[in-house]
Amino acid sequence: MYIRKYTFTDKKAVIEMIKQTIQTINKNDYDENQLKAWSNIDESSWTDSVKEHQAIVMVSDRNKIVGFADMDNDGYLDRLFIHKDFQRMRIGDKLVNDLEEKNTGKKFSTFASITAKPFFEALGYKLVRKNVAPVRGQQLENYYMEK
């Protein structure tokens, strides 16, 4: 597996991977309506958002995208998603570390889902506050964390 820069030809595969991951990996922490709202990704706003960020993907040996992460120029980690079938293989660690190394000297922050909070704590992120994010008519609990 290897990390490479995200390209816009990756968009469809990345969005599909994210939708599947949300619907399966996060189902123990969020209800069906929340999962549906969260995974209903607006592709036009996605394009605008990713364009402004440093975005990377992890690609498997079979040339399948199995992870995605993006960070803005201030050190805010906007999204981190790992394919549902590739969890607990340190892919998330590698993606986050890659972005942090490219942004040395910055304070890093993220809004972590209930599911992802322990992962970020293991990477040294500290809880700043609990948050409720409005997402397409649903309220999703998450955590603002910094490192």
**136-139: which pairs have CB atoms within 8 A and are 24 or more residues apart?**
136/37, 136/38, 136/40, 137/37, 138/33, 138/34, 138/37, 138/38, 139/34
Q: Per residue in 118-134, pLDDT tens? A: 999 999 999 999 999 99
Q: Across the strands, what pairs with 141? A: 132
Per-residue confidence at 43, pLDDT binned at 50, 70, 90?
Answer: confident
Domains of the chain by start residue, with CATH: 2-106 (3.40.630.30)
Q: Per residue in 49-95, pLDDT tens? A: 888 899 999 999 899 999 999 999 999 999 999 999 999 899 999 99
